[in-house]
């Protein structure tokens, strides 16, 4: 949405906005429009929501517009070569990493999970590979100790919009030269699934703290106590000599929850339990005590 807004506000002619179909969401399974559609309609722009990009129908619809550029931001589909060749100048993708690092669908999450201190935005010319096209411009972005995937994503979305404007301006001025990626240095950020959020207590406390930040808000980091699924929303690593098995609740103050890891302890600060409410650990423990020695799995 920041990219769409930036293009509109800076006078670019956007004849068509292509986004995902409306889909059912939430417990009531009510059909909801994607946010990009809502924003496009607010701006008075035409919207197309194809269920598939295969076949000639979609390519013919785009070709009739005779676009100079296609701009792709977090669309979630690989575009075939015939579509990439439709614009007069090129198809530009905004990717949330410093390519060739973290190609793939989840670069923001994996950069945090892996403990990176820096990531960024890349604009590139798309080809038929997965984030393998020639690089146009890049912009670095620091990853702060308190960043979650949500906060970092939102900053990168704003940075990406600004970098696209610079990219289009440079193209118009013919001051940009595409640079081939060094494929030997590429790393991949695979798609995350709901079960990937399961906390493995045998990791170190530092790694688990980063894992929880990277999994927030989706798919969410979680553990089990008995049959209850506990979603961990905020945590911090504590240097501590550990003799108990990983996942064991340790002795702490009554309003604290410290859990043993392979190296150090993890202090749980915010949690969501069976009630479904996001609670501070002090509030949670008042209604759901976890005695010392309890094993989380």
Q: Is the pLDDT of residue 248 over 80?
A: yes
pLDDT at 25: 86
Strand-pair partners of 246 = none
Beta bridge partners of 90: 69
Answer whether residue 27 shows pLDDT above 80: no
The answer to whether 72 and 99 have CB atoms below 8 angstroms apart is: no
| Residue 296 counted as domain residue | no
Q: What pLDDT score was predicted for residue 172?
A: 84
Overall domain count for the chain? 2
Band of residue 106 on the pLDDT scale cut at 50, 70, 90: very high
User: Is residue 25 in some structural domain?
Assistant: yes
Check whether residue 221 and residue 141 sit in a common domain: no
176 and 198 fall within a common domain: no
* 225 shares a domain with 158: no
Q: What is the pLDDT of residues 265-284, one digit of tens each?
A: 999 999 999 989 999 999 99
The answer on 96 and 11 residing in a single domain is yes
CB 204 within 8 A of CB 264: yes
Q: Which domain does 247 fall in, by range?
A: 194-287
Which range is least confidently modeled, 34-43, 68-77, 244-253, 285-294? Answer: 68-77
Residue 171: what pLDDT?
87
Is the same domain home to 165 and 41? yes
From the list 221, 222, 231, 239, the residue with the least C-alpha distance to 276 is 231
- Whether 18 and 163 map to the same domain: the answer is yes
What's the CATH number where 243 sits? 3.10.25.10
Report the C-alpha gap between 181 and 256 in whole angstroms: 48
Residues 33 and 141 in one domain: yes
Residue 292 lies in a domain: no
Q: Which helix (H) or strand (E) holds 124?
A: strand 118-125
């Amino acid at each position: 949405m920041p990219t769409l807004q930036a293009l509109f506000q800076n006078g670019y002619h956007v004849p068509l906005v292509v986004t995902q179909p409306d889909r059912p969401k939430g417990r009531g399974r009510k059909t909801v429009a994607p946010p990009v559609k809502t924003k496009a309609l607010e701006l008075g722009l035409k919207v197309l929501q194809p269920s598939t990009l295969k076949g000639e129908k979609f390519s013919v619809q785009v070709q009739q517009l005779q676009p100079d550029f296609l701009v792709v931001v977090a669309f979630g589909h690989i575009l075939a070569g015939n579509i990439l060749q439709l614009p007069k100048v090129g198809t530009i993708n905004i990717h949330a990493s410093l390519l060739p690092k973290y190609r793939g669908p989840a670069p923001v999450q994996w950069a945090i999970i892996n403990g990176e201190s820096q990531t960024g935005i890349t604009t590139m010319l798309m080809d038929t590979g997965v984030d393998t096209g020639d690089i146009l411009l890049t912009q670095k972005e620091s990853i702060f100790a308190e960043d979650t995937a949500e906060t970092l994503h939102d900053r990168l979305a704003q940075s990406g919009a600004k970098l696209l404007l610079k990219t289009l301006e440079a193209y118009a001025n013919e001051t940009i030269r595409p640079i081939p990626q060094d494929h030997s240095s590429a790393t991949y950020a695979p798609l995350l699934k709901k079960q990937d959020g399961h906390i493995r207590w045998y990791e170190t406390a530092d790694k688990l703290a980063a894992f929880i930040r990277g999994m927030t808000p989706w798919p969410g980091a979680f553990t089990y106590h008995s049959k209850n699924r506990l979603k961990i929303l905020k945590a911090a690593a504590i240097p501590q000599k550990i003799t108990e098995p990983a996942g064991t609740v340790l002795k702490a103050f009554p309003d604290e929850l410290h859990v043993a890891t392979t190296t150090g302890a993890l202090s749980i600060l915010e949690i969501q339990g069976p009630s479904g409410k996001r609670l501070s650990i002090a509030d949670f423990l008042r209604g759901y005590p976890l005695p010392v020695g309890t094993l989380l799995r």
